[in-house]
Amino acid sequence: MVSVINTVDTAHGDMIHDAQMDYYGLHLATCSSDRTVKIFEVKNGTQRLLSTLQGHEGPVWQVAWAHPKYDRLLASCSYDRKVFIWREMDGQWAKVYEYTDHESSVNSVCWAPHELGLMLVCGSSDGGISVLKHKGDNQWEASKINNAHTVGCNAVSWAPAVAPGSLIEPPSAMQQANFTKKFVSGGCDNLIKIWCEKDGHWEEEAKLESHTDWVRDVAWAPSIGLPRSKIASCSQDGRVIIWTCDETTGSKFLPKVLHKFDDVVWHVSWSITGDILAVSGGNNKISLWKEGVNGEWTRISDVGKGQTTNGTSE
């Protein structure tokens, strides 16, 4: 068994707030309070700093990679109320777009599934959510949902674009209409909301109430296998909740508390196959959870310090 292969300084001057792997898992973007975004190449157990993106005037909260079919695009959002879109050309990263329409810190960015086109959703402390749609030639059209969450929106995540019934229609531009355009957001009002685009407008489709403190992160699981929607949410109240929705529940999301942690839970993240959930909370803990056939969630691993778990016992 191999131990630590390498230890490298990210050279971030302050706390790291987010880290994202690109589509292929070969590049890593980290963002920090030190106003920079750093791009690393991760290959065979080594990592190499490729680029440091400067331009934000406040802590950078989150980064998001676009699908590689749109080239190497990265979105970042910051305390400075701005959303930047960066693009790599011949190894050089440059800012290609700047969105400044939020009145407070922008806390979360997420790219839409590539089937929907190049689209970005941003959630801000001003309570609003913006959806930026690429119109070609680096023109972006923004539509804003005001007061999506009172006091602020902390996290956004897109639903996978499943295309039911695309067989009936010949593959054409018509097919676009078959994709579900949906995303989920979580905010300081302790609520989780699901938004759906109808006739070019974003409408609140569902409001999920269960958390008792700020919702810190939401993550819509990749849909593989079954046409079932799964959303993980975590909150300041220490709870991680899995919301599921399928035909049997009548398109209503039903909550299931995965676990109540002692500390705030910052992030939830799904594996690409959507069956393992990584949860990271206060005190440096990451735990991995897997859903069994019976729908029960089992803690399969605990990384970092914290109480030892009863492992895989069922």
Site for other proteins in 161-180 (CB under 8 A): 162-167, 170-171, 175
Cα 123 to Cα 132: distance, rounded to the nearest angstrom: 11
- The single residue among 98, 204, 227, 254 that binds other proteins, judged by CB under 8 A, is 227
Closest distance between other proteins and the C-beta of residue 212, in Å?
16
Nearest to 113 by CA among 173, 172, 182, 170: 182
User: Is the CB of residue 234 less than 8 Å from the CB of residue 268?
Assistant: yes
SS3 229: strand
**Options 142-150, 192-200, 248-256, 265-273: segment touching other proteins (CB under 8 A):** 265-273
Closest distance between other proteins and the C-beta of residue 151, in Å?
7
- The single residue among 94, 142, 177, 303 that binds other proteins, judged by CB under 8 A, is 303
Cα 165 to Cα 179: distance, rounded to the nearest angstrom: 10
Nearest to 65 by CA among 26, 32, 116: 26
For other proteins, what does the binding mask look like between residues 86 and 115, x meaning CB under 8 A?
A: ---x--------------xx----------
Cα dihedral 299, 304, 307, 308, rounded to 10, equals 60
User: Is the CB of residue 191 less than 8 Å from the CB of residue 233?
Assistant: no
CA distances from 42 to 17, 33, 284 (A): 19, 22, 22
Residue with smaller CB distance to other proteins, 256 or 299? 299
SS3 177: helix
Say whether residue 50 binds other proteins (CB under 8 A): no
Say whether residue 297 binds other proteins (CB under 8 A): no
Residue with smaller CB distance to other proteins, 202 or 270? 270
Cα 104 to Cα 82: distance, rounded to the nearest angstrom: 9
Say whether residue 143 binds other proteins (CB under 8 A): no
Residue with smaller CB distance to other proteins, 112 or 202? 112
Closest distance between other proteins and the C-beta of residue 124, in Å?
10
Say whether residue 59 binds other proteins (CB under 8 A): yes
**Options 14-22, 204-212, 238-246, 247-255: segment touching other proteins (CB under 8 A):** 14-22
Say whether residue 287 binds other proteins (CB under 8 A): no
